Structures are given as structure tokens and as C-alpha cells.
Amino acid sequence: MLIKMKRQRYVWVTMLPAVWLLICTTTAGFIKLFDANPAIGFLSLAKKYSDALASGQILAPAKSIEQMQHVIYNAYTNATLTALFLFVVFSILFYALKVGIAAWGTKERTDKESPFQAQPDA
């Protein structure tokens, strides 16, 4: 919005925390997806429990085969949601950069505001 309003000199005020948040969010997302430690990574947890289930073992805290299957299902669900969240983050980043670059290239302001319209009394 600052770029659309031609206030580029203030962009750093919002960009610094946004970049830091982007770095932390994506790093945490990739760690939760791909870490080899089953206590951290969703996919490694699913693999650990799948391998144990295939060999007939029951790992704690699960007490039955059904609970083992629930742990595996939940790990894959968490991995899918994390990947979806990362996709949303990168989509927002892509479109924000696209709009920002387009607005930066114009001389006049590109922000638009709708005219006031009074709401009817209820």
C-alpha cells in the first residue's frame, strides 16, 4: 500500500519485520516437513511409524495398530497442511511483489478508495 501511495521511503518500516517473519515462517515450515528427526519432522515421523507398523511393532505412545495408523495419518495431514501453508505464503509474496513492482513503475498514485455510501437504516 505504501508503494501505491508513493511513500516508498517508508517501505523499510514494514519490510524489515515482514522479511524477518517470512524467513522464520519458511524455515520453520521446511524444518517441520523435512527434518530427519522424527520428533521434529512430520514426514520422518510418518516413515518411522510406517516402518514399525510394517514390521509389526507398536511404538509408544500408541497402544494398538489403530493408534499407529492414526499417528501416521495425522503426520501426513500435518505435512500436507504445512505444505499448503507454505504455498499460500509464497503465493501472497509473489502477488505482492508483482503489484508492488507495477505500482513502483508509475508516476501517479495507484491506490483507489471507494466513495462513501451511507448505509440504510435497519
Q: Is residue 11 part of a domain?
A: no
The pLDDT tens digits along the chain (122 residues) read 667 667 777 787 888 999 999 999 999 999 999 999 999 999 999 999 999 999 999 998 899 999 999 999 999 999 999 999 999 999 999 998 998 888 887 887 777 778 888 888 87
Could you please report the per-residue DSSP string of 29-84? HHHHHH-SSTTT-HHHHHHHHHHHHHTT---TT--SHHHHHHHHHHHHHHHHHHHH
Q: Is residue 39 part of a domain?
A: yes
Total domains in the chain come to 1
Q: Is residue 59 part of a domain?
A: yes
The domain in which residue 61 lies consists of 29-104
Q: Is residue 52 part of a domain?
A: yes
Q: Is residue 37 part of a domain?
A: yes
Query: To 10 degrees, what angle do helices 11-34 and 42-54 make?
Result: 10
Q: Is residue 78 part of a domain?
A: yes
Q: Is residue 79 part of a domain?
A: yes
Q: Is residue 2 part of a domain?
A: no
